[in-house]
Chain A
Amino acid sequence: MSGLLEQMTEKALAKNIPLSVQVDLTYRCNERCVHCYLDHEDHGEMTTAEIKHLLDEMADAGVFILTFSGGEIFLRKDFFEILEYARMERQFCVKLKTNAIMIGEREAARIRDIGVESIQISIYSHRPEVHDAITLVPGSLRRSVEAARFLKSQGLRVILANVLMVQNMQDYQGVRALAEELGVECTLDPTITPMMDGDRSVLSLGVDQNALRRVFRDQDLIPDVEEFCAIPDPADASALSNLPCSAGHTACYVSPYGEVFPCVQFPLVTGNVREQRFVDIWRHSERMKEVRAIRVKDLSTCTSCSHVSSCTRCPGLAFMEGNMRGPSSQDCEKSFARTGVPSANMLAKKQAARDLVQIRIVPSRTEAQPTGAIA
Chain B
Amino acid sequence: MSSLYLARNPRVAARSLDGEMMIMSGRDSTLFTLNQTATILWKSADGSTPLQVIVEREICPAYEVEASEALRDAETLARELAGHGILRISEQPIVPENPAGGESR
Contacts from A to B (Cβ < 8 Å):
2, 4-5, 8, 11-12, 15, 17, 19, 59, 62-64, 77, 80-81, 84, 87-88, 91-94, 110, 113-115, 117-118, 157
B-chain residues with CB within 8 Å of residue A62 when the two chains form the complex? 15-18
Please report whether the interface of chain B is mostly helix, strand, loop or mixed according to DSSP: loop
Chain A nearest CB from B54 CB (Å) reads: 20
Contacts from B to A (Cβ < 8 Å):
10-18, 20, 22, 24, 26, 29, 31-33, 98-101, 103-105
Bound complex: CA of A81 vs CA of B32, how far in Å? 27
**Contact between A8 and B26 (Cβ–Cβ < 8 Å)?**
no
Q: Which of B17, B24, B32 contacts A17 (CB 8 A)?
A: B17
B-chain residues with CB within 8 Å of residue A84 when the two chains form the complex? 100
Bound complex: CA of A94 vs CA of B20, how far in Å? 20
A8-B17, A64-B13 given; A88·B24 CB < 8 A:
no
Bound complex: CA of A32 vs CA of B28, how far in Å? 34
**Contact between A88 and B100 (Cβ–Cβ < 8 Å)?**
yes
**Contact between A110 and B100 (Cβ–Cβ < 8 Å)?**
yes
Bound complex: CA of A5 vs CA of B16, how far in Å? 14
Q: Which of B17, B18, B32, B100 contacts A114 (CB 8 A)?
A: B100
**Contact between A113 and B100 (Cβ–Cβ < 8 Å)?**
yes
B-chain residues with CB within 8 Å of residue A110 when the two chains form the complex? 100-101, 103
Bound complex: CA of A275 vs CA of B29, how far in Å? 35
**Contact between A115 and B17 (Cβ–Cβ < 8 Å)?**
no
A-chain residues with CB within 8 Å of residue B100 when the two chains form the complex? 80, 84, 88, 110, 113-114
A-chain residues with CB within 8 Å of residue B32 when the two chains form the complex? 4
Bound complex: CA of A93 vs CA of B20, how far in Å? 16
**Contact between A93 and B13 (Cβ–Cβ < 8 Å)?**
yes
**Contact between A114 and B33 (Cβ–Cβ < 8 Å)?**
no
**Contact between B105 and A80 (Cβ–Cβ < 8 Å)?**
yes
Bound complex: CA of A92 vs CA of B12, how far in Å? 9
A2-B31, A113-B99, A113-B101 given; A91·B26 CB < 8 A:
no
**Contact between B13 and A114 (Cβ–Cβ < 8 Å)?**
no
Q: Identify which of A8, A81, A92 gathers the most chain B CB atoms within 10 Å of its CB.
A: A8
B-chain residues with CB within 8 Å of residue A91 when the two chains form the complex? 12-15
A-chain residues with CB within 8 Å of residue B98 when the two chains form the complex? 88
**Contact between A8 and B22 (Cβ–Cβ < 8 Å)?**
yes
**Contact between A12 and B17 (Cβ–Cβ < 8 Å)?**
yes
Chain A nearest CB from B46 CB (Å) reads: 14
Bound complex: CA of A88 vs CA of B8, how far in Å? 11
- 13 more CB-based (< 8 A) A-B contacts, given A64-B24, A91-B14: A2-B31, A11-B17, A11-B18, A15-B17, A15-B18, A17-B18, A59-B15, A64-B13, A64-B22, A88-B98, A113-B99, A113-B100, A157-B29
Chain B nearest CB from A369 CB (Å) reads: 61
A-chain residues with CB within 8 Å of residue B20 when the two chains form the complex? 11
A110-B100, A117-B29 given; A92·B22 CB < 8 A:
no
B-chain residues with CB within 8 Å of residue A94 when the two chains form the complex? 13
Chain B nearest CB from A219 CB (Å) reads: 27
Closest to A19 in B: B17
**Contact between B99 and A8 (Cβ–Cβ < 8 Å)?**
no
Chain A nearest CB from B96 CB (Å) reads: 10
B-chain residues with CB within 8 Å of residue A11 when the two chains form the complex? 17-18, 20
**Contact between A4 and B31 (Cβ–Cβ < 8 Å)?**
yes
Chain B nearest CB from A139 CB (Å) reads: 24
Bound complex: CA of A92 vs CA of B26, how far in Å? 11
Bound complex: CA of A64 vs CA of B99, how far in Å? 20
Chain A nearest CB from B41 CB (Å) reads: 16
**Contact between B99 and A114 (Cβ–Cβ < 8 Å)?**
yes
Bound complex: CA of A269 vs CA of B13, how far in Å? 29
Bound complex: CA of A369 vs CA of B20, how far in Å? 66
